[in-house]
Amino acid sequence: MAVIEVENLSKVFRISQKEPGLGGAFKALVRPRYTDKAAVAGISFTVEPAEIVGYIGVNGAGKSTTIKMLTGVLVPSGGQVRVLGRDPHKQRVANANDIGVVFGQRTQLWWDLALIESLNLVAKIYQVDPARYRQLLDQFAETLELKPLLSVPIRQMSLGQKMRAELAATLIHEPKIVYLDEPTIGLDLIVKERIREFIKQQNQTRGTTVILTTHDLGDIEELCKRVLIIDAGQLIYDGPLATIKARFGKFRSITFETLQDVGGFQQVPDGAETLSTDERKLVLRFDRTLTTASKVAKAVMDQLEVVDFSLAEPDLGSVVKQIYGGALREPAA
Amino acid sequence: MNSALVSPRRPSAVNMLGYTALAGMETKTFLVYHWSVVVDLIKNLIATIVFVYFWRALYAQTPAIAGLSLDATLAYVLLARIFQPLGSFMLVSEFGHQMRQGALAHIQLRPLDIQLAYYVQNLASVVVALGRQLPVALVALLVFRLRLPTNPAVWGVFILSALLGRSVLFCFDYILGCVAFYTTSAWGLGFAIFGLSLFVGGGLVPLVMLPDWLRPIVLNTPFAQAFYVPISLLSGVAPLSQAPRLLLIQFLWLLGLAPLSRLVFAVAIRRVTVQGG
């Protein structure tokens, strides 16, 4: 049975329209004008227990608004949300007991106090059994390397330390569903890796359902088998990550380093196009459904003396770039 | 999935430990900034000294104002200085701040009753602030010879009245705080009400000194219920015989404002427009 059921969900914000300048500000004060903006426009999906779902889209696409409706923070303008069978806004307290939320740019921790104070409080608020709490605290401190940070006030922590602390506070009551809204934003690679490992471990060992919104496609590739893509408030894709990679990942790029100037390169092989040329460097892109790497390499080698070459696999970034550019609206090749 | 690791957590409906812990956090946060404690102390001591000399200067020309002698007025004023946190007003600016910071979402995400959580934090911060007034109390007792009531009944009604009054003011503060959900910035409103509450609540002048036409209006405000009523009972400005009537009025205020504040918040929170990440 699905743990999250979303049906025709929408959220419309009323936005005040102001003309620029002081005159515009006065005008808006005396005679305010509003327009309606649909941040989320009738989306539907379900999430099964223990799934990790990536929820992606450009800024302003409606990701965070959806998360806020799923968590009960925002009241939907239309449609229905059921989380573990409950209405998250009307049954806020019961829902809050079973979920954990990380808003990447905001903290739930007590800014002025040591981390351990916040964790102790969270355990009491969620009524975690004291023995279980000690056990989880030891585990989290180990996995997230929090031991030296327990006595440090949050305001004295680095961004990465704060996020690790935030994750511990979010998961210390063993929620059934965790919403992670850009949990790796601004973090270095090592911290990102540690956080991804931790999320994966929580999902595998406890069966925690994870909804992850992120701009970091590394997070998606590392953690999610399924992605939801939202664009202008509408769900434009819901399915396996592998499917969109296969559909949009048909292009490969191949880079050649040459002995002489690449100016002599004239004939671009069929099924390929030139991406860039430098003095002794040539980058081509080819459609692997039309040609092969060896054919492209042979065509180049026939024209230039190649010192070295490398083939790049399609990354999710380029796939997503195509999707955001409207590729999903075109029929599949 | 390892079922042995799944939490046996069975949350109870009323999590008293959670609310108590929240109050504890408020207390700890208050004590973090040592310099703020020192600066507050100096500010309060200076204000107390200024108040005493101001009233002494006023009484230099007259033996009584509105039937109160200098000693009675000074007792009231010194007690008002000591118990000043009873009239503090904070939610209007706090809700506005939380709206702008997006912190309101985290408060909604805790499995606690939002109003009760705010109430215990509010009460805890008042108790801590009262503790920080101890040096002012010592100066009032040792330097200005303030004489505290010896009748335990006076202390009893004072504590009850202070608690009722504080609860009344909290509900009123909670209602006004909801303005922030519509305006997002309620700093100006908070500041204006703070100034008004000082005067109307009896923090500057014993309210019996106000003109006859103004006194009944001012006495019927939540500020007077929270501050003037308990302080007048403790200082003797209102005799013990008036206590049952005053306590009943406070109780009726609470009976009206408690459900109203809940209703206003329930309506206002639906307007929260935390858009984006």
* pLDDT value of residue A325: 73
DSSP string, A148-196: GGTTSBGGGS-HHHHHHHHHHHHHTT--SEEEEESTTTT--HHHHHHHH
Q: Which residues of B touch A153 (CB under 8 A)?
A: 32
Q: Go through chain A and tell me how many residues it has.
A: 333
In a domain, B109, yes or no: yes
In a domain, B246, yes or no: yes
Higher pLDDT, A76 or A14: A76
Domain count along chain B = 1
Q: What is the mean pLDDT of chain A?
A: 88
Q: Which two tokens stand for residue A132?
A: 């279980």
- Give the one of A64, A127, A174 whose C-beta lies nearest to B277's C-beta: A64
* pLDDT value of residue B61: 86
- Give the one of A105, A108, A112 whose C-beta lies nearest to B277's C-beta: A105
- Give the one of A39, A68, A125 whose C-beta lies nearest to B18's C-beta: A125
pLDDT band with cut points at 50, 70 and 90 for residue A314: low
B109 interfacial to chain A (CB closer than 8 Å): yes
Q: Which residues of A touch B108 (CB under 8 A)?
A: 71-73, 92, 96
Cross-chain residue pair B21–A103, CB shorter than 8 Å? no
Distance between CA B167 and CA A26 in Å, rounded? 39
pLDDT band with cut points at 50, 70 and 90 for residue B276: very low
Higher pLDDT, B277 or B41: B41
Quickly tell me which residue has 């223990």 as its tokens: A50
A64 interfacial to chain B (CB closer than 8 Å): yes
Q: What is the mean pLDDT of chain B?
A: 87
Per-residue exposure over B116-142, b if at least 16 CB sit within 10 Å of its own CB, e if not = ebbbbbbbbbbbbbbebbeebbebbee
Higher pLDDT, A103 or A28: A103
Distance between CA B12 and CA B6 in Å, rounded? 18
Query: How many Cα atoms sit within 13 Å of A288 on the Cβ side?
Result: 15
Is the confidence at residue B6, as pLDDT, over 60?
no
Quickly tell me which residue has 């941040």 as its tokens: A39
- Taking the CA of residue A288 and the nearest CA in chain B, the distance in Å comes to 38
Taken in order B129, B130, B133, B134, is the CA torsion positive or negative? negative
Distance between CA A195 and CA A198 in Å, rounded? 5
- Taking the CA of residue B259 and the nearest CA in chain A, the distance in Å comes to 18
Residue type (1 letter), A47: V
CATH of domain A4-242: 3.40.50.300
Is the confidence at residue A113, as pLDDT, over 60?
yes
Burial classification of residue B24, based on how many CB atoms lie within 10 Å of its CB (0-12 exposed, 13-18 middle, 19 or more buried)? middle
* Least confident window among A32-36, B16-20, B152-156: A32-36
B103 interfacial to chain A (CB closer than 8 Å): yes
Fold category of A250-313 in CATH: Alpha-Beta Plaits (3.30.70)
**What are the pLDDT digits (tens) for A52-63?**
999 998 888 899
Is the confidence at residue B114, as pLDDT, over 80?
yes
Cross-chain residue pair B18–A13, CB shorter than 8 Å? no
Q: Check residue A269 and report its DSSP letter.
A: P
Cross-chain residue pair B29–A182, CB shorter than 8 Å? no
pLDDT band with cut points at 50, 70 and 90 for residue B91: confident
Is the confidence at residue A329, as pLDDT, over 80?
no
- Residue A226 near residue A51, CB atoms below 8 Å: yes
The residue-averaged pLDDT of B87-95 equals 82
- Taking the CA of residue B141 and the nearest CA in chain A, the distance in Å comes to 34
* Least confident window among A246-255, A293-302, B165-174, B230-239: A246-255
- C-alpha distances (whole Å) from B3 to each of A110, A155, A220, B196 are 32, 37, 27, 59
- Taking the CA of residue B38 and the nearest CA in chain A, the distance in Å comes to 18
Kind and range of the H or E element at A228?
A: strand A226-231
Distance between CA B227 and CA A243 in Å, rounded? 68
Kind and range of the H or E element at A47?
A: strand A33-47
Is the confidence at residue A136, as pLDDT, over 60?
yes
- A285-292 contact pairs (CB < 8 A, 24+): A285/A251, A285/A252, A285/A253, A285/A254, A286/A251, A286/A252, A286/A253, A286/A254, A287/A250, A287/A251, A288/A250, A288/A251, A288/A252, A289/A250, A289/A333
* pLDDT value of residue A42: 93
What percent of chain A is modeled with pLDDT above 90? 53
* pLDDT value of residue B229: 95
**Domain parsing of chain A, residue ranges:** 4-242, 250-313
B184 interfacial to chain A (CB closer than 8 Å): no
Is the confidence at residue B186, as pLDDT, over 70?
no
Kind and range of the H or E element at B181?
A: helix B179-183
**What are the pLDDT digits (tens) for B127-185?**
999 998 999 999 999 999 999 999 999 999 999 999 999 999 999 999 988 887 777 66
* pLDDT value of residue B273: 57
Residue type (1 letter), B173: D
Q: According to the per-residue pLDDT averaged within each range, which of A212-221, A257-266, B12-21, B124-133 is highest?
A: B124-133
Residues near B107 by beta carbon (within 8 Å), at least 6 away in sequence: B98, B114, B117
A29 interfacial to chain B (CB closer than 8 Å): no
Q: According to the per-residue pLDDT averaged within each range, which of A312-326, B94-108, B157-171 is highest?
A: B157-171
- Give the one of A73, A107, A207 whose C-beta lies nearest to B109's C-beta: A73
* pLDDT value of residue B185: 62
What percent of chain B is modeled with pLDDT above 70? 91
Among residues A74, A171, A49, which one has the least CA distance to residue A122? Answer: A171
- Taking the CA of residue A328 and the nearest CA in chain B, the distance in Å comes to 24
Higher pLDDT, B52 or B97: B52
Is the confidence at residue A287, as pLDDT, over 90?
no
pLDDT band with cut points at 50, 70 and 90 for residue B4: very low
Cross-chain residue pair B109–A206, CB shorter than 8 Å? no
Residues near A136 by beta carbon (within 8 Å), at least 6 away in sequence: A128, A172, A174
Domain of B144, in residue numbers? 17-269
In a domain, B93, yes or no: yes
**What are the pLDDT digits (tens) for B67-81?**
899 999 999 999 999
Is the confidence at residue B275, as pLDDT, over 60?
no
Burial classification of residue B53, based on how many CB atoms lie within 10 Å of its CB (0-12 exposed, 13-18 middle, 19 or more buried)? exposed
In a domain, B86, yes or no: yes
* pLDDT value of residue B58: 92
B102 interfacial to chain A (CB closer than 8 Å): yes
Distance between CA B74 and CA B205 in Å, rounded? 10
The ipTM estimated for the assembled molecules is 0.81
pLDDT band with cut points at 50, 70 and 90 for residue B13: low
Cross-chain residue pair B109–A97, CB shorter than 8 Å? no
Is the confidence at residue A20, as pLDDT, over 70?
yes
- Taking the CA of residue B269 and the nearest CA in chain A, the distance in Å comes to 9
What percent of chain B is modeled with pLDDT above 90? 55
Q: Which two tokens stand for residue B181?
A: 């959900």
- Chain A segment 152-211 residues within 8 A of B by beta carbon are 153, 173-174, 181-182, 204-207
Quickly tell me which residue has 């946060």 as its tokens: B29
Q: Which two tokens stand for residue B159?
A: 């504590």
Query: Nearest residue of B to residue A37 by CA position?
Result: B275
Distance between CA A282 and CA A97 in Å, rounded? 57
**β pairing state of A209-213 and A234-240:** unpaired
Is the confidence at residue B90, as pLDDT, over 70?
yes
